[in-house]
Amino acid sequence: MKKLLYWTLAIYVLYGIGMAWYLLGVADISIPPQWKGTSADPATFLTPKELELSGEYSRWKDLLFFLSIPYEWLIYFGLLAFGVAQALRTWVKRAAKWVPIQSALYAFWLSLITTALLLPIQFAVYHLSRTYGVSTQSLASWFRDRMTDFFIHTVLLVLTATVLYWLIRRFERRWWLYAWMLCVPFMIFFMFIQPVIIDPLYNEFYPLKDKKLETKILALASKANIPAEHVFEVNMSEKTNALNAYVTGIGSHARIVLWDTTLQRLNEDEVLFVMAHEMGHYVMKHIYWGLAGYIVLAFFGLWLVGKLIGWSLARWGRCIGIRRLSDIASFPLLLLLVSLLNFAASPLVNTVSRYEEHAADRYAIELTGNKEAAISSFQKLTKAGLSEVNPPLVVKIFRYTHPTMLERIVFLKEYAPPLQEE
């Protein structure tokens, strides 16, 4: 296993060199000739310096993303290959007699170890965004957010390990099915509480301060038959210069949220287009369709994890000292498989998300009818976040949950409103 790990490390280094060569050197991010000099060409709305910084920042950010995913896999694999996972199992058995407590302790220490090992690459991402002026967050604030991440991640991991390994011991063959059955209400519950409990741990939310603008937004919501009473503003200017707005939560806890940076950088017509886009998600029930999609993916994902982990332990269990799945030391292997499948599913998930975002763009332009404001809002989003207008294909496939800025602006330029019936 150690030899296999060393070979894996060598492959990771070669992979990193290859991705750096591709993203920093040969990847084509140029604008197609037919769109040069138009409003879709970043050279028309970014200064030469901003254009240069945008390319540099996006390429380094993409490289860190593609390095971080397999780096996480290496952590789990290394814990198994060097016996750390097994030693931790021995320690928790000595520390506690009750099996659920052993599972909880194991998950806590596993979370602490993985968080510490992932921290350097997370800091590199933070330092990059600070260097290029996208992030305005202080180091102390960034560290507080990482501590909050650790707390939430650890609580979820402890609950997962405790319940999951109880199910594995109780239902050796069908544990994955019962785990999925428990996942469904948990995902619904988590989406319900996220806007009111989780999100406020990171940022301050409050009703939109500009009441005149809120009146116009609510009038737009009424036009779309949305029973909205408030629009929420979140204080993001102390952390970033980027712009954003989003819809989150379900049921009575659903919220339409605007970053204060969006309000500071966009004019009124541009804000109304952005809000119409978010209203499109609400009207087309994308939150509910997304939840249904994740429930289906969770079913097939857990089934596949059950098959793969059984095969892995039969093939290599003796080498790593883990004979049965009920052994809590198999938890890093289970998390490794989940991470691998999440990455494998990301192109499909991103494709569906891009389709929904395009549908929301179409809805927004049909609701507002202001093409100029729509195009300028996307240009300002690009400028504030130093985003790539036309990213490499592999980046789009694995990273982009929205259509590229080139695709969005081109759609608006070519958009023709539907004919109105007499």
Average pLDDT over residues 389-393: 93
Quote the pLDDT of residue 417.
Answer: 67
- Intra-chain end-to-end CA distance of the chain, in Å: 74
Query: Residue 247 falls within a domain, yes or no?
Result: no
Q: Enumerate residues 6+ apart whose C-beta is below 8 A from 117.
A: 75
Give pLDDT, residue 131. 95
- Residue 266 in any domain: the answer is no
d(CA 242, CA 266): 12
Q: Does residue 68 sit within a domain? A: yes
Would residue 225 count as lying in a domain? no
Range of the domain at 157: 2-203+285-414
Q: Establish if 237 belongs to a structural domain.
A: no
Q: Are 263 and 271 in contact (CB under 8 A)?
A: yes
What is the pLDDT averaged over residues 374-390? 93
Q: What are the helix (H) ranges across 132-174?
A: 139-170
17, two tokens: 């060199």
**At residue 291, does pLDDT exceed 60?**
yes
| Mean pLDDT rounded to a whole number for the chain | 90
269: pLDDT confidence band, cut at 50, 70 and 90? Answer: very high
Is 244 inside any structural domain?
A: no
User: Around 310, how many Cα atoms within 13 Å sit in the side-chain half-sphere?
Assistant: 12
Q: Helices (DSSP H) in 224-330: which residue ranges?
A: 260-265, 268-283, 286-320
Phi then psi for residue 110, to 5 deg, are -65, -40
| Mean pLDDT, rounded, for 152-173 | 94
421 has pLDDT over 70: no
Catalytic residue among 41, 260, 270, 361: 361
Give me the mean pLDDT over the 141-146 stretch.
95
Q: Catalytic pick from 278, 327, 356, 388?
A: 278
Residue 249's pLDDT band (boundaries 50, 70, 90)? low
Residue 367 and residue 276 in contact, taking contact as beta carbons nearer than 8 Å: yes
pLDDT of 422 reads 38
d(CA 134, CA 132): 6
| The pLDDT value given to residue 418 | 62
Provide the pLDDT confidence category of residue 228 given band limits of 50, 70 and 90: low
Residue 256 located in a structural domain: no
Task: Read off the pTM.
Answer: 0.90
Distance between CA atoms of 134 and 125, rounded to whole angstroms? 11
Torsion of CA 364, 367, 369, 371, to 10 degrees: 0
Residue 246 resides in a domain: no
Count how many domains the chain has.
Answer: 1
Q: What is the DSSP string of 82-140?
A: TTHHHHHHHHHHHH-SSHHHHHHHHHHHHHHHHHHHHHHHHHHHHHHHHHTTSB---HH
pLDDT tens profile 13-35: 999 999 999 999 888 888 999 99
Annotation says 361 is catalytic: yes
Question: Does the annotation list 277 as a binding residue?
Answer: yes
The reply, when asked if residue 281 is annotated as ligand binding, is: yes
Say whether 127 counts as a known binding-site residue.
no
Let me know how long the chain is. 422
